[in-house]
Structure 1
Amino acid sequence: MTHYITTPHPGHDKNSIYRFYTYNGEVLPETVTGIWDNYRDKEINDELLLAFGYGDGGGGPTREMLEMRRRLERMPGLPNVTTGRADEFFNQLENNVRSSDRYVHKWDGELYLELHRGTYTSQAFIKKMNRQMEHLLRNAEIVSAFWGALAGFGSYPSDRLYESWKIVLRNQFHDILPGSSIAEVYEDSRLEYAEAEKLAAGAFADGFGRLAGLVPTGVSSGWIVFNTLTWDRDECIRLPWEDRFGNAIWESADGQRLATQRIQSDNGEAALLVRVRNIPGLGYTTVYCKEAEEASADGALLAADQPAQPIVVAESSVATPFYEIEWNAEGQLTRLYDKRTGRELIAAGETANRFDVHEDKPLNNDAWDIDIFYYESVRQVSELKSVRVVEQGELRAVIRFNWEYESSTIEQDMILYADNPRIDFPTRVHWQEHQQLLKVAFPLAVRATSATHEIQFGNVERPTHWNNSWDFARFETCAQRWIDLSERGCGVSLLNDCKYGHDVRDHVMRLTLIKSAVSPDANADIGDHAFTYSLLPHEGDWFAAGTTIQAARLNIPVEVAKLGGGTSAEADARNGAALPATLRFFGTDSDHVVVDTIKKAEDSDDWIVRCYEFAGKRGNVRFDAHLALQSVEEVNLMEREAAKVGHSGQTFETDIKPYEIKSFRIRFS
C-alpha cells in the first residue's frame, strides 16, 4: 500500500500533478527519492517499501533492477536502499507505530480509488458469468455437503468443484474481469466459463438429484423445492405445462391449497406458476399435484384468500395491492404511489425507470475509465414502440415495453406481484452503439445525505452530495447486489442480478447497464444483453425492509425437481430411511447473520460453515443442524487455528460483532 500510494511514475514532472506508478516497480533514483519525498510521517517511521519488479502480466525483478539496487545502496544524496521481505517490513512498521509517542492518524472506512470507474461495467457478459458462477458453485457445494453428511463424502465432487472454481478465479485476473482486455481474451473466457458452468452444474445436479431421490413422492405427483438461502422464503415456481394441470389442485406438504396461474410465452409454450410458501432456509419443502378428489378435506378452508384479479391494468397505469403506477407516452414512470406509506415516491416533475444514454469518451483508457464530464452529454431513450400486457392473473402481472434507440432496441418486462412488494424489470437489449454509456435512473422523493451500498460481506454508506473533492470523486461507485436511499420511515432499494456500477447524486439513484468502449476491444458489449434489476420501495430502512434478503432471492432462485422415489443405492445409504417432506438441514435464529458457505473441509470429511454479520449489529447467534453434532471448532479462512466451540445436541452458539466473518468446522456424530 505504501508503494501504491507514494511511488511516482518514472519521468513525472515534479511541477505537475503526480501520476503514481502501480503496475510495475522500477528501481531508479527517481522512484527511490519519490517515495522518500512524498512520505510525510518520517518522525514515526523512516523505513519505506518499494515493491519492485514487473507485475503487469508477470516477470518479476530483472537483473538490471537488482544491479541498480546494489549501486543505489550507498549513493550520496539518496536514502539507503536495501533488499528485504514484505512481511519483515510490515512487522517493523507495526512496531514503529506502536512504540511512537507521536500522533498516528488512522483511517476507518473506504479507500476509494479515484480511477478506472468504467471497470465496474465494461464487458457485461464477464460480469454476469462471474456473478452467476459464484452462486452456482455455492449451491453445488451446499447440496453436496448436505448429501455427504447423510450418506458419506465418498461421492463429494471435489475434483469438479476445484476445476470449476479454478476457472472462475482465473477469469477474475487483471484485466479479464475488469473488462479491459483485448477481444481474443473474451473469446477464450466464454469457452472457459462454459466449461466451468458444465462442471458446477453437473456437481449440483448430482447432489440435488440424490437428495430428491430420498424424498418419497407419495400417491400424487410431487416436486421438491430447494432453498439454499439462509432465510425462509415464499416463491412462485415455474413448471412446464401438462394437460393434467388444468383440473388439478396443488397442495403444500402440510395440505394447504396453493395458488396457481397459467402463463404462456410468445413462442406458444405454456407453463404453470405455483406460489409456494414457507420454503425452509438451507432446506426444502415439497408440493403436490392432485386430482380434485385427492385434495385434503380442509383444502377449501386453507385455500389462499387472494382475489382472482389482485392486479388491475389500465391503458397507461396499473394498480397492485402495494402500488399505483402510471407511465407516459415514452414508457417512463410518472407515478409510483406506495399504499403502505401513503407516499408518492417519484420526485415531482420527473420520470423514473428512465434510460439515460451518455457520450462516453474518456481522455485515457477507454475501457477502464468514466470521466466526470460524461454528465454533460445525455439523451433519453424515448422512442417507445409498444406496450402490452403479457400476463395478468392471481399471482402476478407482466407488462412489456419495447423501445428503439438509434440502431439499438430495448425490450423490458415490468413484473408486479400480488404478494411481494418487489418490482422486477427483466430487460433484453440489442446494443449497437459505440462509446455510449447506458444507465437507468430513478429520481425519488426521498431526502438523504448518504446512500447505502452492499459490498462483499457487508455494506458501506457513501454521500449523495458533492460537498468536497472526495465526495464528487465518487461520482461512480461499485456495489454488489443492491443500493438503498432512505429517509426515516421510508425508502427505496435498487437491486440487480449482474451489474456493479452505480451513481447516487442528491435524490437520483442510477444503475449503469452497458459501457461500450472501443479500446482495447473495438466491439466491446456490442450485441445482446439480458439482465434484471428490481425496485423495492419499503417502510423503515433497508434492514427492516429485508433488502439483503430480497436481493439474495433475486440472484439465487429456488431449485425445483420432480420427485422420483429414489434409487436402491440411495436407500441403502440411509439404511432404507427416507427424508421428510419438509426439512431444514442447517439454520440460525439470527436476523442479521448470513450463512454464506457450507462445504466439505479441505482436509477431512467435516463441514466448513462460513457466515457473516451484515447489518452492523452485535449479538449472540444460535445455529441448529439437522444431525447431532460431535464437535464444533471455530477456524480461520484457511480452515486452521481451530478453537473449540461448545455445543449441545444439534445446536451451538457464538457471539458475533458487526460485519464479522466467522468460519466453523463441524463434525457430525
Structure 2
Amino acid sequence: SAIGAWRRYSHKEHNNDVLISYGYGDGGGGPTEEMLENIRRMEKGLPGCPKTVQGTSLDYFKRLESKFTDLPKWVGELYLEYHRGTYTSMGRNKRANRKCELMLSDIETLYSLLMQEGVVYPQEKINSMWETVLLNQFHDILPGSSIKEVYDVTLKEYQALAEEGEQLIREALDMISRAVSCEKDSLIAVNTLGFNRSGTIEFDSSDSITSLKDPLKGKVAPVQKTATGSYIAYIEDVPSKGYKAFEMGSILEAAETDLHVTEKRMENKFFDILFNEKGNIQSIYDKTNCRQVLKLGQCANVLQVFEDRPRDNENWNIEMYYPQKKYEIDDVQSVEVIDNGPVRGGIRITRQFFDSKITQDIYIYADVARIDFDSVIDWKEKQLLLKTVFPVDVHAERATYDIQFGNVERTTHTNTSWDVARYEVVAHKWADYSQYDYGVSLLNDCKYGHDIRDGNMRLTLLKSGIAPNPDADKEVHYMKYSLVPHAGTWREANIPAEGYAFNQPMYAVKTKASKTGCGSNSLCLFEVDPSDHVILETVKKCEHSDEYILRLYESHNANAECTLSSFKNLEYAYECDMMEENIKEIPVEANRLTFKIAPYEIITLKVKLW
C-alpha cells in the first residue's frame, strides 16, 4: 500500500517521495481497474494518505540524481535476510536447470568448432532450447516455490531438453570423429572449457581397452574398467575449446600405484582417509601438505537432518532456529569396495533413514587431488532439512563463494546482526574456506545452499517442505560434491577451474584409424592467456552473422593484459555489448589479439576467422 511504502521509507529527512511499482500478482502482471481507480482518487489527495502521481521509474531515478550529489554508495552484496530455503527447495528442478545451462554451453562450443568444417550451426534449435530454460527460471519455478503441477510440467520439459541436447551432442561428436585423421584407432577427448585441461575422462566401449597413448608426447596412460562397465583414464593437456586424440591400446604392463582401497580406508599419493563404523570420515591426512584436514576428534561427510518448520512460506524459508533439533543419519546398511584400479578407487556406503535410502559412492584418484561423493538419495520425508558437514582445521574470518561471473566473500563469524543473518548463503559451483597457507574447497554439481561457521563447511542437500507443494523433494535425487584440500588460498589452487572441470567433464568419442579426415589430431579453437584467472566462458556463433562471440571475465580481482589466440588467423575483432553491437575495433596480428581486463570485468568479443 502507499501508506505502508511511505512508513517503510527510511530517508524521509532527505527526500519526500517514494517509488511504488504496482501490478497484479508478483509475476509481472499489469494494473487492474481497481488499482487505477485508487490511484485516480489518491492523486486528488486524501486526508492521512500520501498523494500519488503516476510516472516511470526512470523519471523517478533521474529526479533523485539531479536532487542529490552525495547519495550513500553501497559496496558489496545486498543480502536478502529472507527466503533462504529457495536455494535448495525442489532439488530436481535446480539440478535440471544447471545441467541444461551447461549442456547448451557445451553445444554452442561443439558446433562453433564444427563451423570450421562447414557444418551448419543449429541456431534455431539452440535458441528454442534456451528459451525453455529461461522460461523455467521464472522467479517461483526455479526457486522451488511453485505448486506441484508446475513441476510436473517442468519434469517433462527438462527431459525433452536433455534428449534433444544429447542428440545434438552425439551428432557433433560423430562429425568431429569423422573429421579427425588418426594413424591408429583413437579416443578423441573434447574439452569445451576455456583452458588447457588435464583430468579423468570416462567412456563406454565394446572393446577391451587398457591404455591411451598421447601421440604428441608418447606418454601412455592406464585405462581402468569401472564397476558400472565404463572405462576411465587420466589424460593430460587437452586444448582449450578443442580436442585431442589418444591412441587406444589393449596391452599395458601393470603399473605401480599408490591407490589402495578397503571398506575402512582409502589411500593415494594425496590423501590417507579413515572411516569409522558409522561410515563417516574420521581422518583425512593431506600427504602433500603434511597436515590433518579435519578438526581434532570430529568427523566429516556426516549427514545431518534438521527439523524444518518455518513460521510461514514453508518452501521459501529456513528459520534461524532450525539447528535446535538435529539428527545424524548413521544407520549404515552396507559398505563395499566398488573400484580399486590404477586410475580410481571407490567405496559404496548405503544408509537408511526412516523410509529413505541414501547411497554414496566415494572416490579417490591416482592423479587427481580430490575426494568425490556421488550420491543417490531416495527421499520419502517431509519438513526435514538435509546437510553434509566437513569440520576443517582452517582459521579464517571469511569464506569465498562462487557466483555467476565472479565470487563473493562473506564472514564466517556472528559479530553483528548482519553476520548472524547470513546463516544460509548461496554459491554456485564452489565454496572455499582458506587461511593464508592452506584451505579447503567444497565443489558441487547441482546445489546452492551453504553455511560456513567456526570451521564447519556445510552444503545443504535437500529441503522437503510441504507448502505450496506438499510433495516437494519426495523423490529420487542425484547429486555430486567434492572436497578439495589445497595449499594457499583458492587463487593459488585455481579453484574456479576446478569448479568448471567438476561440472563439465570432457566428452569422449572413438574413431577408427583413417587418413580420410582432414583435421589435425589436436586442435584449439580459442585460448586466452592468462587462463588461470581470465575465464573464457562462452564461445558461440553470432546471432546475425557467421562471426564468433566470445564472453570472458576476470575471476581473481586483478588487472590483466590478455592474449587471445586461435588455430586460424583472425580477420578482424571487435569488443561488443551484450546485444552483439560493436563498441570498438581491436587490432589483430595473425592468429592473436591483445586486450586489457579489469578486476571482475566481463568482456564480450566478436571475431572473424579466415
Shorter-chain TM-score bucket reads over 0.9
| 1:91 aligns to 2:91 (yes or no) | no
| 1:221 aligns to 2:169 (yes or no) | no
* Other structure's SS at 1:199 match: helix
Name the structure 1 match of 2:257: 309
Q: How far did 1:441 drift?
A: 0.3
Q: Which has the larger radius of gyration?
A: 1
Contact 1:352 1:442 in 2 (8 A): yes
| 1:505 aligns to 2:453 (yes or no) | yes
* Other structure's SS at 2:60 match: helix
Name the structure 1 match of 2:158: 193
Name the structure 2 match of 1:284: 243
Name the structure 2 match of 1:74: 44
Name the structure 1 match of 2:322: 374
Contact 1:253 1:285 in 2 (8 A): no
* Other structure's SS at 1:270 match: coil
Q: How far did 1:76 drift?
A: 5.2
Name the structure 2 match of 1:240: 204
Contact 1:259 1:394 in 2 (8 A): no
Name the structure 2 match of 1:582: 522
Q: Distance in 1 between matches of 2:473 and 2:345?
A: 31
Name the structure 1 match of 2:572: 631
Contact 1:262 1:270 in 2 (8 A): no
Name the structure 2 match of 1:25: none
Name the structure 2 match of 1:62: 32
| 1:645 aligns to 2:594 (yes or no) | no
Q: Give the aligned residue type for 1:380.
A: E
Q: Distance in 1 between matches of 2:11 and 2:203?
A: 65
Name the structure 2 match of 1:273: 232
Q: Give the aligned residue type for 1:89.
A: Y
Q: Distance in 1 between matches of 2:488 and 2:11?
A: 45
Pairing of 1:602-641 with structure 2 (within 5 A): 602-641=543-582
| 1:151 aligns to 2:118 (yes or no) | yes
Q: How far did 1:89 drift?
A: 1.9
* Cα distance per residue 1:22-72 (max 9 Å; x no partner): xxxxxxxxx333333443435644443111111424431112222221221
Q: How far did 1:291 drift?
A: 6.2
Q: Distance in 2 between matches of 1:474 and 1:654?
A: 38
Name the structure 2 match of 1:3: none
Name the structure 2 match of 1:124: 91
* Cα distance per residue 1:414-473 (max 9 Å; x no partner): 101111111101011111111111100001111111110001110001111111111111
Q: Distance in 1 between matches of 2:226 and 2:188?
A: 23
More deviation in 274-283 or 529-538? 274-283
Q: How far did 1:87 drift?
A: 1.9
Name the structure 1 match of 2:103: 136
Q: Distance in 2 between matches of 1:210 and 1:395?
A: 29
Q: Distance in 1 between matches of 2:393 and 2:83?
A: 31
* Cα distance per residue 1:138-190 (max 9 Å; x no partner): 011111122224426xx211111011101111111121111111111111001
* Cα distance per residue 1:497-521 (max 9 Å; x no partner): 0000111111101000011111111
Distance 1:291 1:320, change over 3 A: closer
Q: How far did 1:110 drift?
A: 0.5
Contact 1:141 1:204 in 2 (8 A): no
Q: How far did 1:239 drift?
A: 3.2
* Cα distance per residue 1:210-267 (max 9 Å; x no partner): 233210132x21121100111222222233354543xx653113252422243342xx
Name the structure 2 match of 1:206: 171
1:451 maps to which of 386, 389, 399: 399
1:41 maps to which of 3, 8, 11: 11
Q: Distance in 1 between matches of 2:578 and 2:190?
A: 27
Identity across aligned pairs (percent)?
A: 36
Name the structure 2 match of 1:655: 596
* Other structure's SS at 2:80 match: coil
Name the structure 1 match of 2:74: 107
Name the structure 2 match of 1:180: 145
Contact 2:186 2:513 in 1 (8 A): no
Query: What root-mean-square deviation, in Å, do the aligned CA atoms of Structure 1 and Structure 2 show?
Result: 2.1
Q: How far did 1:647 drift?
A: 1.3
Question: Which structure exhibits the higher relative contact order, with contacts defined as CA atoms closer than 8 Å and separated by 6 or more residues?
Answer: 2
Pairing of 1:241-640 with structure 2 (within 5 A): 241-245=205-209, 249-254=211-216, 256-265=218-227, 270-290=229-249, 308-314=256-262, 316-563=264-511, 578-590=518-530, 591-640=532-581
Q: How far did 1:312 drift?
A: 2.3
Q: How far did 1:290 drift?
A: 4.0
TM-score (norm 1): 0.87
Q: Distance in 2 between matches of 1:368 and 1:53?
A: 22
Name the structure 2 match of 1:26: none
Contact 2:266 2:364 in 1 (8 A): no
Q: Distance in 1 between matches of 2:261 and 2:543?
A: 54
* Other structure's SS at 1:425 match: strand
Distance 1:386 1:609, change over 3 A: same
Q: Give the aligned residue type for 1:172.
A: Q
TM-score (norm 2): 0.95
| 1:52 aligns to 2:12 (yes or no) | no
* Other structure's SS at 2:473 match: coil
More deviation in 459-468 or 315-324? 315-324
Q: Distance in 2 between matches of 1:243 and 1:54?
A: 62
Q: How far did 1:553 drift?
A: 0.8
* Other structure's SS at 1:177 match: coil
Q: Distance in 1 between matches of 2:419 and 2:208?
A: 60
Contact 1:408 1:430 in 2 (8 A): yes
Q: Structure 1: 5+ residue runs without aligned partners?
A: 1-30, 293-299
Contact 1:409 1:431 in 2 (8 A): yes
Contact 1:433 1:526 in 2 (8 A): yes
